[in-house]
Amino acid sequence: MAKEKEIKKPASMQGGDAGKGHHYDASDISVLEGLDPVRRRPGMYIGTTGIDGLHHLIWEIFDNSRDEAMGGFCNDIEIVLLPGNRIRVADNGRGIPVDIHKKTKVSALETVMTTLHAGGKFGGEGYKVSGGLHGVGASVVNALSVYCKAEVHKDGGKYMQEYSQGKKKTSVKKVGSSKLNGTIITFEPDEEIFKDIKFDWNTVVAHIRQQAYLVKGLKILIIDARGYEDKIDDSDVFYFRELNLELPSTSFYFEGGLTSLVKYYNKLQKPIQNSIFYVEKEMDDVGVEIALQYVDDIVDRIIPFANNIYTAEGGTHVTGFKTALTRTLNTYCKKNEMMKESEGGFTGDDVLEGLTCVISVKLREIQFEGQTKAKLGSVEAQSAVATIFGEAFASFLEENPDQAKAIINKSILALKARKAAKAAKDSVLRKGALEGMTLPGKLADCQSKSAEESELFLVEGDSAGGSAKQGRDRRTQAILPLRGKILNVERARIDKMLASKEVRALVIAMGTSIGDTFDLSKMRYHKIIIATDADVDGAHIRTLLLTLFYRYFRQVVDAGFIYIAQPPLYKIKKGKEVNYAYSDEEKVKLIGKETDVTEIQEAEGPEPVEGLAEEDEEKETKARSNKVHIQRYKGLGEMNPEELWETTMDPAHRILKKVNIEDAEEANKVFEILMGSEVPPRKSFIQSNAKLAEIDI
């Protein structure tokens, strides 16, 4: 038995007089001044220092310009992605004030850029409605940038101040005259804060497109000037486009507002109501704007905004909407005797099925939960949305009986499907319980009971399953072979899904249950690894599995438990040396440029001929040692257990791709296109992206 080590407590933790050697007084309290708290704890202000936090810097500066537009002071915003990781945002708003602030005794511009909780959004008449909750947007971006410059055109003058890591480099100074009004902010994120600085064009465009729909009559131009260093010359221009350079760009301008946004989200869907419902009204200083349309689908899309900020986690405005929607449809259905009493009434899930809805509320005093503003907390929004929407939607149903009937029938179908799905699910779970929750017979489970270290490999067919079972680490690796292609669950409810043996086996193996009884804490494996063949069928099976996880086990994906294995494409043998190549580029690199193409073979060459002269035998041996033998793997079943372990399953050498969802709405759209029932959108997608495909002929 190992001898235990005696651990002595530090003097400061011991009782009596032992801690008298260290005094704990005011000198031990750290006070962070200026913007130091932001640099010390950036996650508190932008959520993360990863890729999302990096883009959040753009949103903070853009929000300030957009707030000017919401107040009617601005109608033109330009965003430029510059070389050297710099971002430039210009607007034709009123311009940040530059006169001396009475309290700080410095220019208001300097105050806004270098002081937390300073801005025109705290009382006063600067903004009636704004998205910048805490007034920390510009100062936080400044604090987290190695370089930042503010330019203001106002009252006939042009003013400028530069900063680094939140500290001013010069005082605010007038650098010229100007007939324009507006603000230009240029910043470069600090590599000390952000380890991977790479702005994504598609992410920026998707976010700004959304914002353009929300502010009627606002023109927004996005320019990608990266890679054009030789052409860049922004000397004394207000808008970058004034340079007349032919650069990649995207512009947005919408007059339709939320109705246009609903049309955009539903462009790949089949509507079941002819017109889009729309209401815009104010109640108790809360502006409410809602547009919705039902489509022939089984998923819902609720896109909520508060002061034009996308609240991904919902909040009080969404709660008020859902309550009013369920109540209004139940009332209408009962009044018109459209449902049997035995069927009960609609639940929230029933009336949400197939719904696309955009909710936008505007409040003067707004409260979010957290600095990143992902969830609205203002209680007055709930009652305002419920009242305004409830009354307007009830009138819409009365005035449009045909559309009301279509919506009610859609909800009744969802209600019946919900009950059927619940019966099917309960049957599966009840059967499992009677059998002691017996795991699928074809599952080769691992020995470990710790989910944190356990892995489940989903492999294609019995052949790959056999190799994987023999080559695995039995302690931590489980194998579940899948026979054929699983059900496409894109438009399938739980009852049909659980009728599939392959899907049911996977659900039981995971241990989380499904639907309203799903429990992530019961997950039996913290790595589910999709290991399919490197061919068209393998890619299809992989897509079907990803669709299943995205639609019915989204929390598993969000938790980071889904991975895709990367088996090698080639086994390359030169003499006694064996290497594996995971791509054609890697194959070329391993073979070497000097290798004669005639020496590349798909199989082992003949053995040396006996009876050769010693000199000839030596030449033959040398020639064979220089030859390269390549084996192309078409599937995991072609590998023996040792090869499969060494290349695909051994944690020390394998390559895994972690599945994550950077843009849920874009992911949703892609799944609809690829796995939905509409052929034209899928055909268009394939034609548009054909050149990006890696084709194995």
Residue pair 149/162 in contact (Cβ under 8 Å)? The answer is yes
CA-to-CA distance for 43 and 54, rounded, in angstroms?
A: 11
CA-to-CA distance for 667 and 322, rounded, in angstroms?
A: 24
Residue 346's region, left for phi above 0, alpha for psi from -120 to 50, else beta, is beta
CA-to-CA distance for 72 and 604, rounded, in angstroms?
A: 76
**How far, in Å, are 65, 71, 98, 362 from residue 75 at the CA level?**
9, 10, 22, 19
Facing residues of 305 across strands? 310, 360
Catalytic residue among 63, 289, 502, 533: 533
Amino acid symbol at 229: E
Look up 426 and say whether it is catalytic: no
Catalytic residue among 192, 535, 618, 678: 535
DSSP string, 243-258: G-----EEEE--SSTH
CA-to-CA distance for 316 and 601, rounded, in angstroms?
A: 67
The token pair at 244 is 């007349």
**How far, in Å, are 67, 79, 92, 94, 458 from residue 239 at the CA level?**
19, 9, 9, 15, 53
Q: How many CB atoms lie within 10 A of CB 458?
A: 25
CA-to-CA distance for 53 and 195, rounded, in angstroms?
A: 11
Residue pair 455/431 in contact (Cβ under 8 Å)? The answer is no
- Main-chain dihedrals φ then ψ at residue 306, nearest 5 degrees: -130, 115
CA-to-CA distance for 331 and 236, rounded, in angstroms?
A: 63
Look up 696 and say whether it is catalytic: no
Closest CA to 399 of 294, 277, 288, 293: 277
Terminus-to-terminus CA distance in the chain, angstroms? 62
Look up 533 and say whether it is catalytic: yes
Residue 456: strand, helix, or coil: strand
Facing residues of 478 across strands? 456
Closest CA to 471 of 654, 690, 226: 654
Q: Where is 629: in which H helix or E strand?
A: strand 628-632
Torsion sign, CA atoms 667, 669, 670, 675: positive
Catalytic residue among 68, 445, 460, 672: 460
Q: How many CB atoms lie within 10 A of CB 535?
A: 13
Q: What is the 3-state secondary structure (H, E, C) of 23-79?
A: CCCHHHCCCCCCCHHHHHCCHHHHCCCCHHHHHHHHHHHHHHHHHHHHCCCCCEEEE
DSSP string, 297-346: -SS-EEEEEETTEE-TT-BHHHHHHHHHHHHHHHHHHHHTT-S-GGG---
Task: List, in order, residues 6 or more apart from 522 with CB less than 8 Å away.
Answer: 511, 512, 513
Look up 537 and say whether it is catalytic: yes
The token pair at 218 is 């606002």
Catalytic residue among 76, 537, 620, 665: 537
The token pair at 664 is 């849920």
CA-to-CA distance for 425 and 192, rounded, in angstroms?
A: 51
Catalytically annotated residues = 460, 533, 535, 537
